[in-house]
Amino acid sequence: GAGVSQSPSNKVTEKGKDVELRCDPISGHTALYWYRQSLGQGLEFLIYFQGNSAPDKSGLPSDRFSAERTGGSVSTLTIQRTQQEDSAVYLCASSSSYNTGELFFGEGSRLTVL
11-70 residues near another protein, rule: CB under 8 A? 31, 33, 35, 40-43, 45, 48, 50, 56
Three-class HEC string of the chain: CCCCEEECCEEEECCCCCEEEEEECCCCCCEEEEEEEECCCEEEEEEEEECCCCCECCCCCCCCEEEEECCCCCEEEEECCCCHHHCEEEEEEEECCCCCCCCEECCCEEEEEC
Task: Quote the least distance from Cβ 24 to another protein, whole Å.
Answer: 13
- Exactly one of 21, 23, 91, 111 binds another protein (CB under 8 A); that residue is 91
Residue 1 as a binder of another protein (CB under 8 A): the answer is no
| Segment interacting with another protein, rule: CB under 8 A, options 18-26, 63-71, 78-86, 104-112 | 104-112
Dihedral over alpha carbons 110, 73, 50, 83 (to 10 degrees): 30
Q: Quickly count: other Cβ atoms within 10 Å of residue 14's Cβ.
A: 8
| Segment interacting with another protein, rule: CB under 8 A, options 10-18, 66-74, 76-84, 97-105 | 97-105
Residue 82 as a binder of another protein (CB under 8 A): the answer is no
For binding to another protein (CB under 8 A), which residues are involved?
A: 3-4, 31, 33, 35, 40-43, 45, 48, 50, 56, 91, 93, 95, 97, 99-103, 105-108
